[in-house]
Amino acid sequence: MKFKFLATALMASACLIAPQAHATDAKDLQVIGRALSFVEGGATGDITVAVVYDDGNKAEAESVVALMDGGIKAGKVNMSAKLISVSELGSAGDAAAVFVPSGMASHYDAIKGSGKLTATTDKACVQDGACVVFVQSSPKVEILVSQAAAAASSVSFAAAFRMMIKEV
């Protein structure tokens, strides 16, 4: 009986400590748009964001594309989206950036080699150096940038932006 109680208490504690998955929302996408506005020599105006998927996360990718239907204006950009399979990432030529949904860890090597600014709401992607920018809009805005991924994608940010972010 004591063991069952202890096991239940430990599992409940782990749930409180473990980061909870966060569904990408319009606020997150607006923060990404503002971050794109700080890319030195980056795109302005109407841009396309390629939203990558694999068979395991197509629903999340489709929901992000739906959020951008009609465009999301943030900073100097107005983002629209197109859905693209991770296997076709090399053909995302006209996209100014790539959005990487959660659950893509098995594809980090392909994402690293995209040559694009990669943005995500999955912190592990940035911590592992596959994505350039992680954003979270609630409960407070958090922006994390991978220096290695930014360098590999030839992305640099304005000094004013680097003062507002945490770099890894």
Which segments of the chain does DSSP mark as H helices, in order?
Answer: 2-17, 26-37, 58-67, 108-112, 123-127, 147-152, 159-162
Q: What is the pLDDT of residue 22?
A: 64
Which pair of structure tokens corresponds to residue 84? 């693209």
Cβ–Cβ under 8 Å, residues 56 and 63: no
Q: What does the pLDDT read at residue 167?
A: 85
CA distance 1 to 24: 41
Run means of pLDDT, 10 residues per run, the chain, 168 residues: 38 39 84 92 91 88 94 93 90 88 92 88 95 93 94 90 83
Residue type, 132: V
**Domains by residue range for the chain, with CATH:** 23-167 (3.40.50.2300)
- Between strands 72-74 and 77-85, the pairing is antiparallel
* Distance, CA of 102 to CA of 123 (rounded, Å): 9
In whole angstroms, how large is the CA radius of gyration of the chain? 17
C-alpha closest to that of 36 among 119, 114, 136, 147: 119
